[in-house]
Every structure is written in C-alpha cells, then in structure tokens.
Amino acid sequence: MTKKEVLLTGDRPTGKMHLGHYIGSFKNRVRMQNSGQYDPYIMIADTQALTDNARNPQKIKDSLIEVALDYLAVGLDPEKSTIFVQSQIPALHELTAYYLDLVSVARLERNPTVKAEIKQKGFGDSLPAGFLIYPVSQAADITAFKATTVPVGDDQAPMLEQTREIVRTFNHTYGVDTLVEPEAVLPPKGQGRLPGLDGNAKMSKSLGNAIYLSDSKEELTKKVMSMYTDPTHVRVEDPGHVEGNMVFTYLDIFDPDKEKVAQLKADYQKGGLGDVKIKRYLNEVLEKELAPIRERRAEFAKDKQAVYDMLEAGSKKANAIAEQTAKEVREAIGFNYFS
Ligand code: TRP
C-alpha cells in the first residue's frame, strides 16, 4: 500500500460558516476527503481565535459547536477525517515555543496577511504578541501531523511559506529530517473568494453580507431577493449589465447549467428580463445546493453531546500523533535527558 498524503487544514471558530467558506474551501475539502488519497486532519483553531478574542472566550466557545455542525453538514465525516480542537493538543503549544526561537521578529512583522489583519483590526499599541506570532503556531499545527498537503484560501499562502521556512531551518539547525515541508493547495484562480450579497469583494459576518450554511429557506430567499444587481437597470425593458451583478456572479459559480446561464445573461443584456425573475431562479439554484446541508445540520444539531464526543475522540487521536512528533522534536534538539 502506498502511503497516503497527510492533509491538514482548519478554521478559526469566530462565527458560523457561510457560503464563501463553502465554495472557497469546504467543497474541495470534502472532495479530497472522499477521494481516499489523503489522511485528513481538520482542526478547529480555538487557540488561534483567542489571539484577538482573549477577553471574549465565550464567542469562541459558542462558535466551536457551530463550526463542528457546519463541518458535518457539508459532509466532513469523522469516519474518514480526524476532526479535532487545537487547544486540546498540548504538543502544539510546545512546538510553537521551540519554533519561535527560529524566527525573527522582523520576519513575523513582514508577513503580509498578518500585516493586513493588524491594520484592519486597528490594534494600535495593544497588538497582542500572540497575534503577531500566530503563523508560528500555525507551523506547529501543520508540522505536528507531518502534513504534506494544506488546502487553504489565498490569504493563507504566506503562512505556508513561513511554515516551510521553519521546517527547513529546524531540520538544518539540528541536522535532522524530522519535519516535513508542506505544500499549499490554493483555490483555482478566480474561485478563491465569493463576493458578498452587496457586491463587496468579501463575504463576511462583520459586513453583514453573508449567506450562512445554517440559514433557513426563508432567510435564504430574503437575502437573495436583496442582492446587489445593476443599479442602471431601472425598468425591466432597460438593457442590464451582468458584470459586477451579484446574481450572475453567483449563477456562474453555483449553476451547473451553463447554457441556461448564458441565455439568461443574453436576455438580461438585451433588456426585458427583470431582476425579480433572475433572483427567483438563483434562489432555486442555491436552495438545491443548500437544502440537503441545512437538513443534515438540523439532524446533527439534535444531539450536540454526540458532536462534542466526536470532537473529543478526534482530539484524542490527534493528540497521540502530535505528542509523537513533539518527542522527535525534543530528541532532535537534544532535550531527551531521561531516555
Ligand atoms: N489561519 C487559518 C484561518 O484563518 C486557520 C488555521 C489555523 C489553519 N491553523 C491552521 C489553516 C493550519 C491551515 C493549517 O482560517
């Protein structure tokens, strides 16, 4: 039997997951899981979420179960994937401590994603040290499982670059090949980011422009009917624009019937096709995709204890693997005094 690639990825539990997460990440993750080519580890990154929520841990606690339900609803399967919770794996924190000594502060300050987040979150002088160093803890997450394959969004590419550097530095410094360099798997070009309902480049909770995997049928319809289309398309007879029109942007992504979309676009551009009509159609397309997810989610939500039990079992399994890597890392450094 050939050895499977080890897949690791994760999410910060700071809210429920939305359609942007689904299309940019979950769908592909489930596909990879079901291909049988990987040994997948899926981590709920509560410790990382704490780096900018230290004074509001309740938010993380509440979100943890929601994220777990979203995972199960989209088809992540604990029979095939090890789903676990970051804070429950002490070895990750130990590895972080060792790796921090191999990374300069200047290097951390250059990470473009962290830089942008610091600016966007407006930390000013109160930037938590833990936030600045979270890419190092992410390197611990990845290397603890000797992950080879890390499917992530485009914004995570710098984290993978930093992880690869840490792996090379560690192995070189201690003359070992203990750690494994991971490869990022980024979304196909143009598919990385789903814009929001309002046309904003990013779908996000804070912008209030998201469709959640847990939204009811009625909520979905209401949101679709409120979508940003073409402000110059005032009367039905007017010719309309499809570029930057969220209904067509979403149809391009979600409707498998490309011919139908092309026809609708042509009709809309010519004039005579109303916004209500195209919105109703998009609503049908999205409902078809989301209804089974919503139903599965409601089913799993009936027994939250079972979901916590699943996370506990996953964390136990993950812990044993991470602990083994930490042992090898201690040996590599020479901190194995008693064996
Ligand atoms: N930073 C990732 C996010 O913002 C979450 C994450 C934490 C992660 N550790 C990871 C992703 C390790 C991939 C690998 O969603």
Q: Is 45 in the pocket of ligand 1 (CB under 6 A)?
A: yes
Q: Is 140 in the pocket of ligand 1 (CB under 6 A)?
A: no
Supply the residue whose CA is at minimum distance from atom 9 of ligand 1. 138
Q: Which tokens is 334 given?
A: 């020479």
In 3D space, the residue among 220, 277, 208 whose CA is nearest the CA of residue 248 turns out to be 277
Residue of 6, 7, 8, 12 to mutate, ligand 1, most atoms within 8 A of C-beta: 12
Distance CA 335, CA 339 (A): 10
Centre of ligand 1 from the C-alpha of residue 151, in Å: 10
Which residue type does 236 have? V
pLDDT for 1: 53
Per-residue pLDDT of the chain in tens (339 residues, 90 and over written 9):
567 999 999 999 999 999 999 998 999 999 999 999 999 999 999 999 999 999 999 999 999 999 999 999 999 999 999 999 999 999 999 999 999 999 999 999 999 999 999 999 999 999 999 999 999 999 999 999 999 999 998 899 999 999 999 999 999 999 999 999 999 999 877 667 899 999 999 898 889 999 999 999 999 999 999 999 999 998 999 999 999 999 999 999 999 999 999 999 999 999 999 999 999 999 999 999 999 999 999 999 999 999 999 999 999 999 999 999 999 999 999 999 998
Distance CA 69, CA 169 (A): 38
Distance CA 118, CA 105 (A): 15
Distance CA 264, CA 277 (A): 10
Three-state secondary structure call for residue 223: helix
Centre of ligand 1 from the C-alpha of residue 233, in Å: 41
Q: Which tokens is 259 given?
A: 């011919």
Distance CA 12, CA 28 (A): 18
Centre of ligand 1 from the C-alpha of residue 284, in Å: 33
Question: Which is the closest atom of ligand 1 to the Cα of 138?
Answer: 9
pLDDT for 2: 63
Write out 49-112 in H/E/C secondary structure: HHCCCCCCHHHHHHHHHHHHHHHHHHCCCCCCCEEEEHHHCHHHHHHHHHHHCCCCHHHHHHCH
pLDDT for 190: 67
In 3D space, the residue among 22, 274, 220, 266 whose CA is nearest the CA of residue 258 turns out to be 266
Q: Is 111 in the pocket of ligand 1 (CB under 6 A)?
A: no
Distance CA 186, CA 188 (A): 6
Neighbours of 161 (CB within 10 A): 14
Distance CA 144, CA 93 (A): 10
Which residue type does 329 have? V
pLDDT for 187: 84
Greatest Cα pair distance, the chain, in angstroms, is 82
Is the Cβ–Cβ distance between 15 and 63 less than 8 Å?
A: yes
Distance CA 84, CA 112 (A): 28
Give 92-96's long-range contacts (Cβ < 8 A, gap of 24+).
92/47, 92/137, 92/140, 92/141, 92/144, 92/322, 93/47, 93/137, 93/140, 94/326, 94/329, 95/139, 95/140, 95/143, 95/144, 95/322, 95/325, 95/326, 95/329, 96/133, 96/136, 96/137, 96/139, 96/140
Supply the residue whose CA is at minimum distance from atom 13 of ligand 1. 9
pLDDT for 205: 87
Q: Which tokens is 27 given?
A: 């769908």
Query: Which domains, ranges and CATH numbers included, belong to the chain?
Result: 5-194+304-333 (3.40.50.620), 217-299 (1.10.240.10)
Distance CA 169, CA 180 (A): 12
In 3D space, the residue among 98, 214, 102, 118 whose CA is nearest the CA of residue 165 turns out to be 102
